Amino acid sequence: MDMGPCPKFHSLQLRREYEEAKAKGIDNYERELEDAIDRLIGECDRKIGRALKRFEDEDERVAIAISVSEVT
């Protein structure tokens, strides 16, 4: 199966620079990616927390409405 040419940009110079930096222990590429992923995870966790809080608040309102309707 022929998928055609690769759509990504390939540069031997950039690859060489990356390999040299990695050999010297200066590569921050993985660390930068990890930091970006950590920020995304934190943002998702905050959104989930807010959604759960709204869900709990709605459950409380429904429970109050049910108890009020049972009393009346």
* Predicted structure pTM score: 0.52
Does a structural domain hold residue 2? Answer: no
Q: Which residues of 8-19 are buried (b: 16+ CB within 10 A; e: fewer)?
A: eeeeeeeeeeee
Q: What is the pLDDT of residues 8-45, one digit of tens each?
A: 788 999 889 888 888 887 767 778 889 999 999 999 99
Provide the pLDDT for residue 39: 95
User: How many domains are there within the chain?
Assistant: 1
SS (H, E, C) the chain: CCCCCCCCCCCHHHHHHHHHHHHHCCCCHHHHHHHHHHHHHHHHHHHHHHHHHHHHHHHHHHHHHHHHHHHC
Does a structural domain hold residue 25? Answer: yes
Range of the domain at 29: 12-71
User: Tokens at residue 32, please?
Assistant: 């930068």
